[in-house]
Structure 1
Amino acid sequence: MTFLKEIDYILLELNIYDKRNLRNTVEGVLYRMRDGCPWHDLPEYVGKSNIVYKAYQRWFCSNKLVTLFALLIKDADCEWVFINGAHIKAHHHSSGGNEVAQAIAISKSVAGHAIKIHLTVDDHGNPITFISSDGTTHDVKVTPNLINKIDLSNTDILCADKGYDFEALRAHVKQAGCLNNIPRKQNTKSTNNHMDWQLYKVSHLVENAFAKLKNYRAVATRFDKLRQSYENTVALACAYFWLQL
Structure 2
Amino acid sequence: MPRHMLTDSNWSKLKPILLQQGIHDKASLRLTVEGILYRMRTGCQWRDLPGAFGSWNTIYKRFNAWSAAGKLMTLFSTLVEDPDIEWLFIDGSYVKAHQDSTGASTGEAEAIGKSRAGNTSKIHLAVDAYGLPNAFRVTGGEVHDSTEAHALIDDLPSGDALVADKGHDSESIREQVEARGMKAVIPRKRNSKKGNANLDRGLYGYRHLVENAFARLKPYRAIATRYDKLKRNYESMVALACGFLWLPMRNVNRP
TM-score bracket for this pair, using the shorter chain length: over 0.9
**Other structure's SS at 2:59 match:** helix
From the superposition, tell whether residues 228 and 210 of structure 1 become closer, same or farther in structure 2 (CA, over 3 Å).
same
CA distance in 2, matches of 1:22, 1:76: 29
Matched, 1:57 2:64: yes
Unaligned stretches of 5+ in structure 2?
Answer: 1-8, 250-255
**1:91 alignment counterpart:** 98
Matches of 2:122 and 2:14, distance apart in 1? 30
Aligned to 1:163: 167
Unaligned runs of 5+ in 1: none
Q: Tell me the alpha carbon deviations over residues 159-181 of structure 1, each in whole angstroms, 9 at most, x when there is no partner.
A: 00111111111111111221100
**Which deviates more from structure 2 when the two are superposed, residues 218-227 or residues 13-22?**
13-22
Deviations 1:184-203 (A, max 9, x none): 11211103232111111110
TM-score by length of 1: 0.94
Aligned pairs, number: 241
Q: Find the partner of 1:30 among 10, 29, 37.
A: 37
Matched AA of 1:176? R
Residue 243 of structure 2 corresponds to 239
**Structure 1 residue 6: Cα displacement:** 5.2
Task: Note if 1:136 corresponds to 2:131.
Answer: no
Does structure 1 residue 120 correspond to structure 2 residue 126?
Answer: yes
Q: Report the Cα distance in structure 1 between the residues aligned to 2:35 and 2:92, rounded to whole angstroms.
A: 29
Alignment of 1:20 onto 2:41: no
SS at match of 2:78: helix
Question: Taking structure 2 as the reference length, what is the TM-score of the superposition?
Answer: 0.90
1:48 equivalent in alignment to 2:55: yes
CA distance in 2, matches of 1:161, 1:108: 23
Shift of 1:8: 3.9
Number of the residue aligned with 1:185: 189
- The answer to whether residue 79 in structure 2 is matched with residue 72 in structure 1 is yes
The alignment yields a C-alpha RMSD, in angstroms, of: 1.5
The answer to whether the 8 A contact 1:181-1:194 is kept is no
Using a 3 Å threshold, how does the CA distance of structure 1 residues 240 and 4 change in structure 2: closer, same or farther?
closer
Structure 2: distance between partners of 1:5 and 1:62? 23
Measure, in 1, the Cα distance between the counterparts of 2:114 and 2:93: 16
Structure 1 residue 156, shift from structure 2 partner: 0.3
Question: CA 1:34–1:6 in structure 2 vs 1: closer, same or farther (change >3 Å)?
Answer: closer
